[in-house]
Amino acid sequence: MTLPSTYADRNCSLARALEIVGERWTLLIIRDAFFGVRRFGDFATQLKIPRAVLTNRLKFLVQEGVLVREDDATRGVEYRLTAKGVGLWPIVRALMSWGDTFYSPAGVQRAERHDRDGGLLDHGGRCEDCGLVVPVPEIRIEPGPGFDPTSSAHDPVSNAINTPRRLLEPIEAGRTLPVDEG
């Protein structure tokens, strides 16, 4: 079941897509999921989003099949992007790139590289070294010249996000890993 449409044109796929990702916070939650955030508390810390709003957004994204909610005995509850959710990366990339162009005079805030060969990715996600359009799990994201560490938070989740890392790789910062006591 979907929310009632607030857009006039039901024959427009952009309007349909905006019903899923157009609400405030939603694309930021999705961006963080690409950066490896999986736990409710980590989304809340990183985004400083009201918890009730976060609960609603996560529930809706699970309902729409963008995220899957997994409840593991040792790891607790985690939210991960589905294939449908991973399909949103070109949109997140395009909006970040547009933001860099018009609002980041010092340059890109986050650069994308091909993890295997270190090649920079162009706006279409193509590696400048090997020429491949790089699949999401092979993309490494790292602070670019426009990134200002002094205006960034320094909690463990933010620190992990601001260190070069592959997309979708889970952030373990601050997590108490189960101890194998043999």
Write down the least CB distance from residue 147 to Zn ion, Å. 22
Strand partners, 68: 80
Distance CA 61, CA 68 (A): 8
Query: Residue 119 CB, nearest distance to Zn ion (Å)?
Result: 4
For 35, the token pair is 């950066």
Which positions from 89 through 128 interact with Zn ion, judged by CB under 5 A? Answer: 114, 117, 119, 127
21-36 burial string, b = 16+ CB within 10 Å, else e? beeeebbebbbbbbbb
Tell me how far, at minimum, the Cβ of 120 lies from Zn ion, in Å. 9
Please write down the long-range contacts of 64-68, taking CB distance under 8 Å and 24 or more positions apart: 64/2, 64/20, 66/20, 66/21, 66/30, 67/33
Q: Is 140 in the site for Zn ion (CB under 5 A)?
A: no
Among 129, 138, 155, 169, interactor with Zn ion by CB under 5 A: 129
Whether residue 38 contacts residue 79, with contact meaning beta carbons closer than 8 Å, is answered with yes
Can you tell me the distance from the alpha carbon of 75 to that of 78, in angstroms, rounded to the nearest whole number? 8
Nearer to Zn ion, 38 or 114 (CB): 114
| Nearest distance from C-beta of residue 139 to Zn ion, angstroms | 10
Does residue 133 interact with Zn ion by CB under 5 A?
Answer: no
Q: How far is the CB of 171 from Zn ion (least distance, A)?
A: 24
Task: Provide the greatest CA pair distance for the chain.
Answer: 61
The smaller minimum CB distance to Zn ion, of residues 20 and 139, is found at 139
**Chosen residue from 130, 145, 163, 164 binding Zn ion by CB under 5 A:** 130
Asked if 140 and 164 touch (Cβ cutoff 8 Å), the reply is yes
Restricting to residues 56-75, name those near Zn ion by CB under 5 A. none
Nearer to Zn ion by Cβ, of 70 and 122: the residue is 122
* Of 19 and 115, CB closest to Zn ion: 115
Residues that bind Zn ion (CB under 5 A): 114, 117, 119, 127, 129-130
